[in-house]
Chains A and B, each alone.
Chain A
């Protein structure tokens, strides 16, 4: 009999130990202008109020369902870690010099977005990978960034992610001071309604396969002095320009559905003197004259290269675009 109240008290204490800690963590974990110097795991709600850097020796792992919000800090204000404008963005960034593993699931995507009550593009800077390898972004949603996923001489796999309302969804280039060469695999992503879709330059060499690029205001894909790039099995539609190229010697652009882009399906910019290898795409029509109407190449400017689009598909490419449904996005 005497032991009963004792067990009850112990039970209450154990219950409180279980219940209280989660209650204490109800608010987001807040980072203000910080360095992450050791391996770290993020889960739950994270609020970033300044530049956060994952240093060379550290790995940041982000768990499924984590929501990372970036406060809209003053441009180049005191919350910034760096003032170098060639490599950084005006507002808060997650700078990765070590590694980032952000692997959500179809049901529990990882969300990177603005903390502002009236969010807009460029509220925050980027997931900014600098001279970094072994990075992974899978089942993540990115919105209201300047350039959501950004690489300077870094290597990353970006798969099954959803990009919307960013200035640019993905941007990358090589920088001479770093040894790492910029290589990226960009697969199964939905890249819609951004200013620009995928921008790569200065020798960067991505594989862009099985993505949906739709409604991006300026361009879907823009290659600028880029390295060899493989662009296949994408749906590229209703963008400003579908594919834009400047001084890029080698692109393989095949088996894509490319149609109804406002200012040309393919535009060779001034300085794109190389031909572009682009057979077996579906251009939304079987009429060659109609295909040419939405192409800007040597036919329009004698100094430009030529879009080599023969033979072209006579029906939409099966299996192009995202081959499976990502929950919550349709």
Chain B
């Protein structure tokens, strides 16, 4: 096992994703905001599953819960589950082309959204509207670019 290197930079990218989650944007775009934290988290779980997996996912989920004001633990649970699925299958997912990966990430994002809805439905009684699934689509569109960007980031800074 190679020694850990540049772990701080991983957290830096996650912090940037957290900031993007709460940056004010015009109201019309708010429903389309991709789940930045989860996307960045999934990239790192794919690239370095030894360094970033369920522990980091749980922590980031908790921070997201605090930032966006959902019931504490809802995002933490959903992030952990998605991160588990990605970590277990990381060797398979890595071999897919970017387009296939993007579709698969869409599936993961949908799983996350539905988990989130399901938990919130039990805890606070929210009603489902199809518009809640927009972030899945925008997340799929963003994924190839994010993947390319973060891979450059990882290689430039030699994060292992």
Answer yes or no: do A and B interact. Answer: no
Query: Which B residues contact A (CB, under 8 angstroms)?
Result: none
